[in-house]
Structure 1
Amino acid sequence: MEILMIEDNESVSEMMQMFFLNEGWQATFKYDGKEGLDTFLKDPQKYDLITLDLNLPGMDGMLVAKEIRKISSVPIIMLTARDSESDQVIGLEIGADDYVTKPFSPLTLIARIKALHRRSELAEKQVHVNADNTAEFDVETTHFKMNIKTREAYLNNRLIEGLTPKEFDLLYTMAKKPRQVFTREQLLELVWDYQYFGDERTVDAHIKKLRQKIEKVGPQVIQTVWGVGYKFDDSGMDE
């Protein structure tokens, strides 16, 4: 795996370099936001994953993530201060796939990287599998349909625009089992591929943004089941 780590704390980078090498991964380290972005833009296909600090010289991490998301769906893990809940939510909303709070355990970051990379590889394989499938849509109900190959979702034949990779995966996970209630812990494991560590806000932030995009084209199909979690249900649109 090839990782781009954009982190202004050199001691953190040096520490993570040892862990990356132990995993057999290659890593490029940049200590400035603008420099990190330029490095990525020179060869967007080179990197399998990016870890991105929010507080960077040269260019803020939020802006770096926005620019990357204009051209790439490469997995991004944001590194945020423990007390910056708003930054975590905003980071997820602009397209980060996950976040890890500082100070963090190197083993925790390694585990998150492995989980995110594994999910990314599985998604790619699924696209190839469906390329040979004659079915136009992988999920289809009276009002809703999704195509994994094109990564498109429609409600009442209107395209739900601007879905990030994680938003699409979250919607697909729930939509392929309509009316089944998923807890936040289950969604973390199914969509992010790691066990519950208390990061419920990861799911909530993605649900919030996903709902906003769905509401632009039709009625809300992501329902909250209070005290439990969330479910996909478009049956109410028949009434």
Structure 2
Amino acid sequence: MKKSLILIADDEIRLGKLVSDFLVNSGFGVLTVTDGKQAFDIFNEYRNKIDLIILDVMMPKMDGWEVLKEIKSISSVPIIMLTAKAEECDQLTGFKLGANDYVTKPFSPSVLVARVENLLKRTGRIGGEQLVSGNLSIDLIEHVAYIDDRPIEMTPKEFDLLVYFIQNEGIALSRDNILNAVWNHDYFGDLRTVDTHVKQLRAKLGLFSHYIETVRGIGYRMRCKDEDVDKS
């Protein structure tokens, strides 16, 4: 199985080296940079290979917030923010811009590695490179979903939603569970966001929209059965 590749962006060289060593010892591949512009340039160069980013807030050339905003506008790659600040407003800024997790310095490198592993598992970027169910397949490395080998055009959040559904196939998922898993626990939106994205996702699944079932009084369930589908 391919090693998950982590991009570390931190202008504290010693800290970056320490985190890198812990990740490498845990079996990860690592790229390290020391400023925000390098982080964005390296991500664009290796976009389809990077599985997670550890991003410091205070960096030269581009700060972490700028890099986070730019990357999240084009990708759903998981991002953990690092900062020396513990203020709640900074955490809220990160989550509103799309950060998946937030770690305040100083921190334990071993705990950071555990959070990296958990986030990779939760976002489907570890433990396998492809999900297949019914007529759907998802390439977790290339970040592309297919119907019968035909790629589906979708937004990063629609992709994350489809991955979450397939990873929990057969389970009735409440709107709260979906919102917390796909939009993070600190997302300040309402449950209609889930309904809107499910509607959009069903439209893109076309003949296979029935894969996403509505569970009355609960939410939704993915059940990839195709015996009743006319594909003519």
The answer to whether TM tops 0.5 is: yes
Separation in structure 2 between the aligned mates of residue 49 and residue 169 of structure 1, nearest angstrom:
16
Separation in structure 1 between the aligned mates of residue 165 and residue 135 of structure 2, nearest angstrom:
22
| Identical residues among aligned pairs (%) | 32
1:103 is aligned, of 102, 106, 121, to 106
Deviations 1:160-215 (A, max 9, x none): x8737667778997xx5366987xxxx6xxx49xxxxxxxxx61x12x14648459
Alpha carbons of structure 1 residues 81 and 170: separation in structure 2 relative to 1, 3 Å: farther
Cross-structure match for 1:177: 172
Separation in structure 1 between the aligned mates of residue 173 and residue 25 of structure 2, nearest angstrom:
42
The answer as to 2:14 corresponding to 1:11 is: yes
Structure 2 portions without partners, runs of 5+: 137-144, 147-154, 198-213, 219-232
Q: CA deviation at 1:11?
A: 1.6
Query: In the alignment, residue 84 of structure 2 is paired with which amino acid?
Result: A
1:88 is aligned, of 86, 91, 103, to 91
Cross-structure match for 1:43: 46
SS of alignment partner, residue 110 of structure 2? helix
The answer as to 2:53 corresponding to 1:59 is: no
Alpha carbons of structure 1 residues 22 and 123: separation in structure 2 relative to 1, 3 Å: closer
**1:1-239, aligned counterparts within 5 Å?**
1-121=4-124, 128-130=131-133, 133=134, 163=157, 177=172, 191=181, 203=185, 205-206=186-187, 208-209=188-189, 211=191, 213=193, 235=217
Alpha carbons of structure 1 residues 44 and 103: separation in structure 2 relative to 1, 3 Å: same
Contact 1:167 1:210 in 2 (8 A): no
Structure 1 portions without partners, runs of 5+: 136-148, 151-160, 193-201, 218-231
What RMSD, in angstroms, separates the aligned Cα atoms of the two structures? 4.3
Contact 2:6 2:50 in 1 (8 A): yes
Alpha carbons of structure 1 residues 117 and 170: separation in structure 2 relative to 1, 3 Å: closer
Separation in structure 2 between the aligned mates of residue 211 and residue 171 of structure 1, nearest angstrom:
16
Deviations 1:104-150 (A, max 9, x none): 110110001111112233699697323xx259xxxxxxxxxxxxx58
Contact 1:78 1:100 in 2 (8 A): yes
Separation in structure 2 between the aligned mates of residue 45 and residue 60 of structure 1, nearest angstrom:
23
Query: In the alignment, residue 157 of structure 2 is paired with which amino acid?
Result: L
Query: In the alignment, residue 10 of structure 1 is paired with which amino acid?
Result: I
Query: In the alignment, residue 177 of structure 1 is paired with which amino acid?
Result: A
**How many correspondences in the alignment?**
188
Contact 1:8 1:32 in 2 (8 A): yes
- Greater CA deviation, 7-16 or 74-83? 74-83
Separation in structure 1 between the aligned mates of residue 71 and residue 85 of structure 2, nearest angstrom:
24
